[in-house]
Structure 1
Amino acid sequence: MPLHAYKAMDQTGKIVQGSMDALNLVDLEMRLKRMGLDLIDGSPVKRGNFGGNRIGRRELIAFCLHLDQLMRAGVTIIDSLTDLRDSSDNPRFREVLADLIESVEGGKTLSQALAAHPRIFDGVFVSLIRAGEETGKLPQVLHNLTESLKWQDELAAQTKKLLTYPVFLLVVAVLVTLFMMLYLVPQMVGFLKNMGQALPLHTQLLIATSNFFVHYWYLLLAVPIMIGVVLATLVRTRPQARLRLDALQLSLPWLGEIFKKIILARFASVFAMMYASGISVLDSLRIIQDVVGNAVIRQGLQRVAAMIGEGQSITAAFQNAGMFPPLVIRMLRIGENTGSLDTALTNVSYFYTRDVRESIGRVQSLIEPALTIIVGAVLGWVMLAVLGPIYDAIAKLKI
């Protein structure tokens, strides 16, 4: 269906601009009417990325929470979606909600309508909604999705916290080094050479380093960008390159263990939610493979699913995969023996989430002094290389 850009006016006279899928301008006008908008102008545009406004996790949390509360109060899905559409501040999300309303009014189920927007509602989301519809527990599924999305939002915040401060300190260290090598040291090179004495080795190294920065600064900018582009291309086009990069991510000192715990916490939480919603173990593993975000873990889950399909127990399959820690295996065994696998997986998720939070604090306490030492070492090298010859020259003066 073609994408159309439009300019419209709402009931208060406010001009609204956006884009929407429509067969033609007449269809566009009818769709906007359902949103309470009067079309002023519209035209088809080339389809690029879906929408101009990003739909983030916060919008999805509001979506699930809103539907959960209204459905528990006896409000129909169409009326709930309409109310959410009218109260949303995100123009792109309003368009998506309008399309959902039209699809449901046309006879589709909510899960079928959501599946038409895979960039917004992933496979896990759609499968859980479908399971809720089939079991008659849609409000409970929406409640679980709300809690899961809130947890993922908190986990994402923890991950950003882990990366933001070290990156900031690293940028500061790079800027300080560039300032000294491109400006400060070149200002003093002439003075040092005019002193008429042999320069020590560390001063010669500093001058050579500064000259390289001055004459080949474009390489310092271009090489990292080229390496990044090449790596991104390889990862996107070659599965083996993606596998090696993800394996390297999990093997990084300090950070690798945290990344693995974050992935396992997400996996356990989603697996528990899908299992509790009535989705089979094999279907859950198949869907989760696409959302773990790491090729190494994905391969492990594929091996687990294959072994379970051959008749092995869940615990034995995870244990034979050889990549899941003893805590996961132990909790799976307890859950399988007691018939409460979802509770056991929820406990695993809780443990890893707490452990990730503590690990982030420990790593940050180590990164800060490490980067401070690196910056101090560079500054000390510059001061020693510059002031050393000056001090030696002054010491040789006979006053």
Structure 2
Amino acid sequence: MPLYRAEVYTQEGARKILRREAASENDLLRELESERCAVVSVKEEKARAWSFAGGSRRKKLSLEEQRLFCATLSSFMRSGLSLTEVLKLLQKQTRGKNLKPVYTELRESVEGGRSLAASMTALGVFRPGLVGMVESGEKSASLGEILEKAGELLQNEISLRRKIQTALTYPMLMLLVGLGVVVFLLSFVVPRLTALVIESGAELPFITKALIFVSHAVRVGVVPFAAAVALLALWMRRRNKKIALPFFREARENLTFALIFSQTGTLLRAGIPLVQALKLTEPLDPVKGRLSTVAGYIKEGYRFSQALEKEGSFPEEITTVIRVGEAGASLPETAERLGAGCWEYAQTSMQKWATLAEPLIILVMGLLVGFVVVAVLLPIFDLSSLAGR
């Protein structure tokens, strides 16, 4: 919700400056009128263009920094301190050059009347899924538990990324070295060898003609291609876009289901009704409107499993597990176990593709080098046979 700055006079005649969140300016005026305050002026406050470097562009926090934020904030909140006190302590104790200004901005924003989720949104350095979890935690009065759960999910994602990076380091190094060798052959070696064959007047086989064409294309297009790739990467980074590989689709879906059902189970365990829990979980779902549709079916009288089945985008295995949980009156525990199972399945799928990457890269590079070698040697063998006659 937007944050408004209101200048008012209280019943005692004292002049005050209030900062409050409200759905609209009229809602805020009605709220102040109910408190018997005389309103002088009301103005919406915009988020400040703040950044770590002092410019207008904000740098996103890394996953490790966001995990540390969740872990430290949840641990301090268990001690019974208020949110502003916790943020003030973290501001003093944190040595990280990225997190320290974040705590400062969050404390000032929360003291000014914003919620923690709205303050995080205004900063723009947190991922939307984490902001959604914080918002649901504030509305359900279980912020500490939600932050702890968010920290666990972030830690799982960090561990998964590290495993994938470790598994892909050697194959990617092989791919870069192999591509460098192929480009060198096509740019320098092949033109000189084929020039000798062409000068001899011998008939070139089709595979050698194809190699000459590819070699010419590489020499002409390598610089424009590299520039185009660099511009595309820069554009995707600025727009925060990522390449969606089709063979990672199943893993991405299971990661999404893990977030949805882990969050839903946590909210249900905290006593939040199912419909409200789904609405609070919706920011974590990249498919917009899906959970709202499920919540609408539940309002019409459908059970949770029936609503998931009627919506149509959830696998049958998930609806079956939810149906069993409903029958056993253990829906919160079932949803959390389902989230953990989806997370493990996504990890297995990602590790499988990481394991297959190495032999696939070796095979592709072998075929490319073999093509170059055969295309170069065939005309040389023909010349040798002609010279022997």
- TM-score exceeds 0.5: yes
Q: Does 1:362 align with 2:345?
A: no
- State yes or no: 1:271 paired with 2:264: yes
Structure 1 unaligned spans of 5+: 1-44, 237-241
Cα–Cα, structure 1 residues 272 and 88, in superposed 2: closer, same or farther, change >3 Å?
same
Q: Which residue of 2 is the match for residue 339 of structure 1?
A: 329
User: Gaps spanning 5+ residues in structure 2: where?
Assistant: 1-52
Aligned residue type for 2:337: N
2:255 corresponds to? 262
In the superposition, the TM-score normalised over structure 2's length comes to 0.72
Deviations 1:352-376 (A, max 9, x none): 2222232233223322222211111
Tell me the secondary structure at the aligned position of residue 204 of structure 2: coil
Match of 1:36 in 2: none
Please say if 1:130 is aligned against 2:138.
yes
- Establish whether residue 323 from structure 1 lines up as the match of residue 313 from structure 2: yes
In structure 1, the partner of 2:284 is 291
Of 160, 174, 196, 2:201 maps to 196
Q: Which residue number in structure 1 is paired with residue 47 of structure 2?
A: none
The answer to whether the 8 A contact 1:185-1:207 is kept is: yes
Deviation at 1:379, TM superposition (A): 0.8
Alignment of 1:161-172 (within 5 A): 168-172=173-177
Q: Which residue of the other structure, out of 101, 110, 115, is the alignment partner of 1:95?
A: 101
Q: Which residue of 2 aligns with 1:220?
A: 225
CA 1:70–1:211 in structure 2 vs 1: closer, same or farther (change >3 Å)? closer
Q: CA-to-partner distance for each residue in 1:15-40, whole Å, 9 max, x for gaps?
A: xxxxxxxxxxxxxxxxxxxxxxxxxx
Q: Whose relative contact order is higher, 1 or 2, with alpha carbons under 8 Å and at least 6 apart? A: 2
Instruction: From 150, 161, 165, give the equivalent of 1:145.
Output: 150
Aligned length: 335
Q: Output the CA distance in 2 between the equivalents of 1:121 and 1:360.
A: 22
For the residues of structure 2 that align with 1:361 and 1:214, how far apart are their CA atoms? 37
After TM superposition, list the pairs within 5 Å mapping 1:381-392 onto structure 2: 381-392=371-382
Query: Taking structure 1 as reference, are residues 220 and 140 closer, same or farther at Cα in structure 2, changes over 3 Å only?
Result: closer
Separation in 1 of the partners of 2:235 and 2:111?
47
**Scaled by the length of structure 1, what TM-score is found?**
0.70
Q: Which amino acid is the alignment partner of residue 362 of structure 1? A: K
Identity over aligned pairs, percent: 23
3-state DSSP of counterpart to 1:199: coil
Find 1:303's aligned residue among 274, 278, 293. 293
3-state SS, counterpart of residue 216 of structure 1: helix
Could you tell me how far apart the structure 2 residues matched to 1:323 and 1:335 are?
A: 20
Superposed CA offset, 1:83-114 (max 9, x none): 21122233342222123333454566655655
- Partner Cα distance (1:205, 1:115) in 2: 55
* Aligned-pair CA distance for 1:70: 3.1
Distance 1:194 1:267 in 2: 68
Residues 187 and 272 of structure 1: CA distance in aligned 2, closer, same or farther (over 3 Å): farther
Deviation at 1:384?
Answer: 0.9
Kept in 2: contact 1:131–1:279 (CA 8 A): no
Aligned position for 2:56? 48
Q: Using the alignment, how far apart are the partners of 1:227 and 1:59 within structure 2?
A: 28
Q: Which secondary structure does the structure 2 equivalent of 1:298 belong to?
A: coil
CA drift of 1:116 comes to: 4.4
Q: Structure 1 residues 185, 72: closer, same or farther in 2, change over 3 A? A: same
Alpha carbons 2:259, 2:284 under 8 Å: kept:
no
Once residues 163 and 262 of structure 1 are traced to their aligned partners in structure 2, the CA distance between those partners, rounded to angstroms, is 20
Within 2, Cα distance between the matches of 1:365 and 1:115? 38
